[in-house]
Amino acid sequence: MRKSLRLTLALAVVVCAALAFWAATASATSGAHFFSASASINDSGALVVAWDEAGVGQQTVSYTLTADGTATYACINGGGNHPKATNKATVNGPVSASGSFPATKNGRVVGSLSAGPPSAGSFSCPSGQALVLASVSYSNIVLADTTNNVSESLGSIARTFFNV
Closest CA to 56 of 87, 34, 77, 32: 32
Share of the chain above pLDDT 70, in %: 77
The predicted structure's pLDDT at residue 25:
40
Cis (ω within 30 of 0) for the bond into 117? yes
104 shares a domain with 40? yes
**139 and 73 housed in the same domain:** yes
Same domain? For 130 and 66 the reply is: yes
**18 and 83 assigned to the same domain:** no
Whether the Cβ atoms of residue 115 and residue 39 lie closer than 8 Å to each other: no
Domain that holds residue 40: 31-160
Q: Which pLDDT score, from 0 to 100, does residue 127 have?
A: 87
Q: Based on the structure, what is the number of domains in the chain?
A: 2
Range 28-67 burial, b when 16+ CB lie within 10 A, else e: eeeebebeebebebeeebbbbbebebbbbeeeebebbbbb
- In this structure, the answer to whether residues 92 and 106 fall within a common structural domain is yes
Do 126 and 149 lie in a common domain? yes
**What is the tens place of the pLDDT at every residue in 39-74?**
999 999 999 999 999 999 999 999 999 999 999 999
**What angle (nearest 5°) sits at the alpha carbon of residue 38, between those of residues 35 and 39?**
160
Distance CA 76, CA 160 (A): 14
Output the pTM of the full model: 0.79
Residues with Cβ within 8 Å of 33's Cβ and at least 6 positions away in sequence, in order, are 53, 54, 55, 150
Together in a domain, 62 and 129: yes
Q: What is the pLDDT of residue 77?
A: 83
User: Minimum mean pLDDT among 74-78, 95-99, 101-105, 119-123: which range?
Assistant: 74-78
Same domain for 39 and 7: no
Per-residue pLDDT band for 87 (boundaries 50, 70, 90) equals confident
User: Are residue 68 and residue 6 in the same domain, yes or no?
Assistant: no
pLDDT-derived band at 27 (thresholds 50, 70, 90) equals very low
Same-domain pairing of 77 and 134: yes
DSSP run (H or E) holding 86:
none
Helix (H) or strand (E) holding 120: none
Strand pairing report for 88-102 and 150-160: unpaired
CA distance 137 to 132: 15
Q: Are residues 138 and 66 in the same domain?
A: yes
Do 84 and 12 meet the contact criterion of CB atoms below 8 Å apart?
no
Whether residues 13 and 23 fall in one domain: yes
How do residues 122-149 score in pLDDT, each as one tens digit? 999 888 889 999 999 999 999 999 999 9
